[in-house]
Amino acid sequence: MVINEAEESDLLLDILDIKKNILKMIYLAQSGHPGGSLSCATLIYLLYKKIMKFNPKNPKWDERDIFILSKGHAAPALYSVLSKIGLITKEELTTLRKVNSKLQGHPVKNDQLGIEITTGSLGMGLSIGVGCALSAKLDKKKDKLIYVLLGDGELNEGSIWEAAMAASHYNLDNLIAIVDRNGIQSDGFTEEIMGLEPLANKWDAFGWDVIEVDGSNIREIIGGFQKSKKTIRKPTVIISYLVKGSDISFMEHSSKYHGRAPNKEEYENAIKEIEEIEKKIGVS
Ligand SMILES: Cc1ncc(C[n+]2csc(CCOP(=O)(O)OP(=O)(O)O)c2C)c(N)n1
């Protein structure tokens, strides 16, 4: 699948719109996780828009691929993408974290909205993904793929590595883990808190096929996902190098906005920064 320049611009503009909604939701709620939502927005959107078998008109379609947001605190990114593809209304987005809202701070399974799995307690998603992948194999659903998005800080959880062992033991080539390698967790840099490097070698040693991509490059991400579909008898991990708080200068490369909502001035400045990028790409 080759994308031309016009399509690339359209995708970039969609992603910027998704980022504006992430900021708006968290600003209105005055609570949430902007940094890690902004870093992974591109990955989630490309999965739904270009990669996964998924029909927004029938989110319960039995043959669909499954997306599990293991780093559940990035729920605003998932909700904004689901809104972009028509499953969540813009009004609903403004209810983030409100009492009785379907859009809680971490995803709660909801078949109508396309939210596959309840997550938020880090370290669970890959084990759930192993279960879904095994189940698809048992059901002889050869083309059903399971995608699990993990944070790099989340890799501190021992259960991730138990699941990693199981996935290669069972030759789960229908399981694709994606690591949001933004290098920062709640309170600082991953390499200072619990070093992960050499991360690619670790996954390789656990029996996984490893693909590394520049997560700011749409073509590279799509290429990585396409390559992952060709892996045989092994699970695949895509380590995606990303920027925490990406596209907002004062949020980038910092843990300050890991779990802190922007105030009014910060919110307005963040939106202005995105509008500037939109102008450069050529939004009318
Ligand atoms: C089991 C568990 N422990 C602690 C937390 C609190 N927590 C939420 S986000 C986070 C840091 C996650 O870092 P990372 O995976 O790198 O996320 P990202 O930078 O991609 O947002 C922590 C410790 C949690 N949600 N679950």
Query: Rg of the chain over CA atoms, in angstroms?
Result: 18
Ligand 1 mean position to 268 CA, how many Å? 27
Q: Considering only CA atoms, which of 204, 258, 215 is closest in space to residue 239?
A: 215
Say if ligand 1 is within 6 A of residue 186 CB: yes
Say if ligand 1 is within 6 A of residue 184 CB: yes
pTM (two decimals): 0.98
CATH of the domain at 238: 3.40.50.970
Q: Considering only CA atoms, which of 239, 244, 158 is closest in space to residue 199?
A: 239
Q: Which domain holds residue 120?
A: 5-281
Say if ligand 1 is within 6 A of residue 183 CB: no
Ligand 1 mean position to 185 CA, how many Å? 7
Tell me the per-residue pLDDT of 38-97, one tens digit each, with 9 for 90 and over.
999 999 999 999 999 999 999 999 999 999 999 999 999 999 999 999 999 999 999 999
Ligand 1 mean position to 158 CA, how many Å? 14
Q: What does DSSP assign to residue 88?
A: S
Residue 12 has pLDDT above 80, yes or no: yes
Say if ligand 1 is within 6 A of residue 244 CB: yes
Average pLDDT, the chain: 97
* 141 vs 208: CA distance, rounded Å: 21
Tokens encoding 144 = 């059903």
Say if ligand 1 is within 6 A of residue 149 CB: no
Ligand 1 mean position to 173 CA, how many Å? 27
Tokens encoding 258 = 């890991």
Asked if 76 contacts 26 with a C-beta cutoff of 8 angstroms, the reply is: yes
Q: How many domains does the chain have?
A: 1
Say if ligand 1 is within 6 A of residue 153 CB: yes
Say if ligand 1 is within 6 A of residue 181 CB: no
Tell me the per-residue pLDDT of 87-125, one tens digit each, with 9 for 90 and over.
999 999 999 999 999 999 999 999 999 999 999 999 999
Say if ligand 1 is within 6 A of residue 185 CB: yes
Q: Is 48 left (phi over 0), alpha (psi -120 to 50) or beta?
A: alpha
Ligand 1 mean position to 182 CA, how many Å? 12
